[in-house]
A = this chain, B = another copy of it.
Amino acid sequence: MDNMKLIGDLLHSHGLKKTPIRTEVLELFMDHDFALSASDIVAKMTAGHDRVTIYRALSSFEEHGILHRASEDGQGTKYALCGHKCPDEQHTDKHAHFVCDECHQTYCLEDVQVPEVEVSSEFTVERTSFVLGGICRQCQQ
């Protein structure tokens, strides 16, 4: 695992201090192939850290382009790492996401591009979110 080094670099390169909590949060994201919400993280963290701290870590990561918002279903906002297949910059909203109705997990569909569309000049589009819903393989049976 050289995740440790990676995480250190990631935080440092964005001018964020490397704290145990932030490190553990980023490790969680690296260890999962689906998006996580603040409460998912609180539940998975070893020590019982305050919800507020997790919310603040997530916002901060989002602002710095380390995480992107993957979906906002009824179970709260889920975030995903701007990772492997994401370009280093402008990772937001480039791919679609899939939310399972059964387990409520959110997956990045990194090969499904968010389509570019023409919209009435009445609206200035700054973000696009393309979220599919249904059942994932695990919940299929």
Contact = CB atoms under 8 A, between A and B. Distances in A.
A49 B136 CA distance: 40
Tallying the copies of this chain within the complex gives: 2
B122 A137 contact: yes
A129 interface: yes
Contacts of A124: 134-136, 140
Contact of A133 (B98, B125, B133, B140): B125
Interface of A: 72-74, 77, 96, 98, 100-101, 107, 109, 111-112, 115, 117-120, 122-137, 140
The 10 closest A-B pairs by CB, nearest first: A127-B133, A126-B134, A125-B134, A124-B134, A124-B135, A122-B137, A115-B115, A125-B132, A129-B131, A98-B123
